[in-house]
């Protein structure tokens, strides 16, 4: 329901009248993130400082209003959806890079800083921030921390939690605390590890201190084609089994290759059953040795058309195709539903075969593009939302794919989070006692349950089913 005039005035006194959105038509813009599940907030508040965030949270506490932190809205599990109304705490005004310390190799940023902008700023000092989601030109670091985001180069470097040194957090009562520090070993309870990946259910992050790494002296990017997904998957396992951990090891199937090549002209062979992008970084000599060893392993697994990027422009083009793959799939269907389950690398062929069978059973095209090195699958179910009854088919297919992942010894999400998309299926991987232990921790931080309610844990108020998303491919044409 709309907030009362008195509550709106309280919020406007904190952030200014222009930074409180409450008219129904304006609120529609904030009803969803990168998901089809939507719920209109009662108000959107855009604070500019930690102090303003704390005051807004205290107002929400006095009036028993839910608070849902929100970044760029690129999240893929419904984490920023105001499921039970209340306040969407839009943090996009907090977008300053407060400090880059090239000697300590750290950066202090606000949550609204775009991932790519930090990369560009750090590069001026010969440094970079390792986590690189495919949406890095739009997603914000606050959202990356909330979801513990990954990316193609996290195989070697690790995901967000491995690069966050500390955060400033505003808790459910409006209190503010700094959690973490520069020390490599954290004494006592690891509260920072608890907050990273908590999807806004424990606190609102207002400052983030991250670790930066030196740019590599040399980078070698190798593309290889394979006759089938199975041979490419075996090549991935063999590379890791030889003790080689590349900076990135990404795979695309034939459906994805065709769509991407038609748009980007990156040089992917469209007759291949799968393509692997492999990247190694380091000093010149070690890169050359690793690249040669990888090339030998790939050839023994039936790789053909091996190609090494000759310069930065060619490397960027190869990666542009990989990171822009979902948008390019609009050439096939205007809508997609993307999963991100994780399986042991040795089970990749089995699960990918099952994913293909599920797609054929439901007569839905499926395009696979994923982080093969760590078994993080990204099957894209492609469809046209205008087709009657299509969402029921998509949801059923998606649920079967998730079940196949779990039955293969995998888990529900590698980097997109649980949110409302997969919270009903948490009992697949956790016993009731495990879930209750997690919820007891949540109640310590948020005893009234006001912070991003209805996320991560099964919600008794909703029937246990998948919440499927219908994303819109960038290349979609509605005619």
392 contact partners, CB below 8 Å, separation of at least 6: none
Cβ pair 195, 240 in contact under 8 A = no
- Class of CATH domain 218-323: alpha beta
Rounded Cα distance, 309 and 209, in Å: 34
Cβ pair 263, 328 in contact under 8 A = yes
Angle of helix 348-361 versus helix 390-407 axis, rounded to 10: 160
Rounded Cα distance, 453 and 68, in Å: 8
Give 76: exposed, middle or buried? Use CB within 10 Å, 0-12, 13-18, 19+.
buried
Where do the CATH 3.30.70.2190 domains begin and end in the chain?
218-323
Rounded Cα distance, 8 and 461, in Å: 28
Q: Alpha carbon of 244 to those of 83, 152, 155: distances in Å?
A: 44, 16, 11
Per DSSP, the residues of 112-128 read: T-BHHHHHHHHHTTTEE
Strands 67-70 and 87-90: parallel
Residue stretches of the chain with pLDDT short of 70: 1, 36, 184, 461-479
Which element (helix H / strand E) includes 3? none
Per DSSP, the residues of 265-284 read: -----TT-SEEEEEEEEESH
Where do the CATH 3.30.43.10 domains begin and end in the chain?
5-90
Where do the CATH 3.30.465.10 domains begin and end in the chain?
97-214
- At 152 the pLDDT is 92
Provide CATH code, domain 5-90: 3.30.43.10
- pTM for the full predicted model: 0.93
Q: Is the dihedral of CA 174, 98, 70, 423 positive or negative?
A: negative
Q: Alpha carbon of 436 to those of 148, 237, 442: distances in Å?
A: 22, 37, 10
Going by C-alpha positions, the residue among 429, 422, 430 that lies closest to residue 456 is: 422
Q: Does domain 97-214 have CATH number 3.30.465.10?
A: yes
Give 64: exposed, middle or buried? Use CB within 10 Å, 0-12, 13-18, 19+.
exposed
Going by C-alpha positions, the residue among 467, 406, 374, 435 that lies closest to residue 76 is: 467
Rounded Cα distance, 186 and 183, in Å: 6
Cβ pair 74, 34 in contact under 8 A = yes
Rounded Cα distance, 454 and 446, in Å: 13
Q: Alpha carbon of 18 to those of 9, 21, 45, 113, 157: distances in Å?
A: 12, 7, 9, 21, 41
Going by C-alpha positions, the residue among 2, 113, 38, 17 that lies closest to residue 469 is: 38
Cβ pair 226, 272 in contact under 8 A = yes
Cβ pair 370, 377 in contact under 8 A = yes
Rounded Cα distance, 95 and 86, in Å: 24
């Amino acid at each position: 329901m709309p907030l009362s005039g008195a509550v709106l005035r309280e919020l406007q006194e904190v952030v200014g009248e222009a930074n409180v959105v409450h008219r129904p038509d304006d609120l529609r813009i904030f009803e969803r993130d990168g998901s089809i599940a939507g719920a209109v907030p009662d108000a959107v508040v855009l604070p500019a400082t930690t102090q303003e965030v704390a005051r807004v949270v205290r107002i929400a506490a006095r009036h028993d209003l839910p608070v849902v932190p929100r970044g760029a809205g690129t999240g893929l599990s419904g984490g920023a959806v105001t499921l039970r109304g209340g306040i969407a705490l839009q943090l996009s005004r907090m977008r300053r890079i407060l400090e880059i310390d090239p000697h300590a190799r750290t950066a202090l940023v606000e949550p609204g800083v775009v991932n790519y902008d930090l990369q560009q700023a750090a590069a001026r000092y010969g440094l970079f921030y390792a986590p690189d989601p495919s949406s890095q030109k739009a997603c914000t670091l606050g959202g990356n921390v909330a979801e513990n985001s990954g990316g193609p180069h996290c195989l070697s470097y690790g995901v967000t939690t491995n690069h966050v040194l500390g955060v400033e957090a505003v808790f459910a009562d409006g209190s503010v605390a700094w959690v973490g520090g520069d020390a490599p070993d954290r004494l006592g309870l690891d509260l920072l590890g608890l907050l990273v990946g908590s999807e806004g259910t424990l606190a609102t992050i207002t400052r983030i201190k991250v670790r930066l790494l030196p740019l590599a002296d040399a980078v070698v990017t190798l593309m290889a084609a394979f006759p089938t997904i199975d041979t490419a998957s075996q090549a991935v396992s063999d590379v890791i089994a030889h003790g080689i951990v590349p900076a990135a090891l990404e795979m695309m199937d034939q459906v994805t290759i065709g769509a991407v090549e038609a748009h980007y002209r990156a040089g992917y062979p469209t007759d291949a059953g799968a393509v692997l992008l492999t990247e190694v970084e380091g000093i010149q000599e070690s890169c050359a040795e690793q690249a040669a060893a990888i090339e030998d392993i790939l050839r023994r697994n039936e790789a053909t058309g091996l190609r090494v990027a000759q310069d930065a422009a060619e490397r960027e083009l190869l990666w542009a195709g990989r990171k822009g793959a979902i948008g390019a799939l609009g050439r096939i269907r205007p809508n997609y539903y993307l999963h991100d389950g994780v399986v042991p690398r040795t089970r990749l062929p089995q699960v990918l075969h099952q994913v293909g069978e599920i797609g054929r059973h439901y007569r839905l095209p499926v395009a696979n593009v994923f982080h093969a090195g760590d078994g993080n699958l990204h099957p894209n179910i492609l469809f046209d939302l205008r087709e009657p009854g299509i969402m029921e088919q998509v949801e059923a297919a998606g649920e079967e794919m998730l079940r196949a992942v779990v039955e293969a010894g995998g888990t529900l999400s590698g980097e997109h989070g649980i949110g409302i998309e997969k919270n009903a299926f948490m009992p697949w991987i956790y016993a009731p006692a495990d879930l209750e232990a997690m919820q007891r921790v949540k109640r310590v931080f948020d005893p009234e349950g006001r912070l991003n309610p209805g996320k991560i844990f099964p919600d008794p108020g909703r029937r246990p089913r998948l919440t499927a998303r219908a994303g819109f491919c960038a290349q979609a044409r509605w005619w």
